[in-house]
Amino acid sequence: MASYSPRITLTRNSRGIYSLDTVMGCASGMANEPGGCYGDCYSANAARRYGRDFSVNVLRYFESEAHRRSIVARINRIRLDFVRIGSSGDPSEDWAHTVNILRGIDKCNRQIVIITRHWHTLTNEQLAYFGTINVVVNTSVSALDKPHVRDHCVAQYERMKPYCKSILRVVSCDFNINNERGHLMARAQAELFKHDATIDTVFRPSKRNPLVTDGVVNVARSRFMDGVSLVSKHNPSAYLGKCSTCHEMCGLNVTAKDARHPTKPGVVKQLGLFRKKTW
């Protein structure tokens, strides 16, 4: 299978989401479960279709100062309030590298949304840096997770709160409570949604996923973008449309009643560029 390019790019998908992935691939997620998270990682499936190996992490870099400036300029022109990091790979696979890229775009005028499973834990110094920028961290978690993975994700979501806007991004399902596993997972899911500042992300499995064939989750065909997908919806009104018309905006518009992070102008408070370039 082909490797990803190490050249960092700003991309836009069919939902209108702009992504600046610092890491392509997710070795930890693929090692945690065959097929990636829940046996049906959407990004891993997409990588496979394009002949990419999602089990190998590829760090992405600015090729030059001109390349870095062009990325910042493009971010400043997009018609969306934020850019995502973590669409086709998990930035937690190398937090130090992700922080370096964040410093490289420190003059852009859009907020950054980081989506992560926290396979590797942020250091205290990295957390302190997050406290200086307008970053929204979405910690992805699900009742489908193994208990120790779920507990770790929730702990990291709580740990982030003093430093930045911390969102619990729950991959939810319509669990079959008449199924023993489904009943237990439905209870675990209810506990996840008790946390402050949660958003609901619909699970889109394949029809061959054991969770479907074993009757753990209920699924139905639902309109998704310009087509129809198999989905398991905990909330019948869960949003499946384009990013530009989403109310939550990956947590930007979600108010956390116990949030303690300060309001900061721009992406950073007048931080300069690296004296020694690392890209």
pLDDT in tens for each of the 279 residues of the chain? 788 999 999 999 878 889 999 999 999 999 998 888 988 888 888 888 888 989 999 999 999 999 999 999 999 999 888 999 999 999 999 999 999 999 999 888 899 999 999 999 999 999 999 999 989 999 999 999 999 999 999 999 999 999 999 999 999 999 999 999 999 999 999 999 999 999 999 899 999 999 999 999 999 987 766 677 889 989 887 767 777 677 777 877 787 654 444 444 444 333 333 333 444
Distance CA 164, CA 28 (A): 25
Distance CA 112, CA 10 (A): 13
Given a contact cutoff of 8 angstroms between Cβ atoms, the answer to whether 5 and 60 are in contact is yes
Given a contact cutoff of 8 angstroms between Cβ atoms, the answer to whether 24 and 4 are in contact is yes
List Cβ neighbours of 266 (8 Å cut-off, separation of 6 or more).
107, 108, 109, 134
> What are the tokens at 204?
């889109």
Kindly report the backbone phi and psi dihedral angles of residue 223, in degrees, each rounded to the nearest multiple of 5, phi listed first: -65, 130
Interaxial angle between packed helices 180-192 and 147-160, expressed in degrees from 0 to 180 and rounded to the nearest 10: 10
> What are the tokens at 110?
């859009």
Burial of 209 (0-12, 13-18, 19+ CB in 10 A): buried
pLDDT value at position 257? 54
Residue 186 one-letter amino acid: A
pLDDT value at position 45? 84
pLDDT value at position 256? 62
pLDDT value at position 278? 40
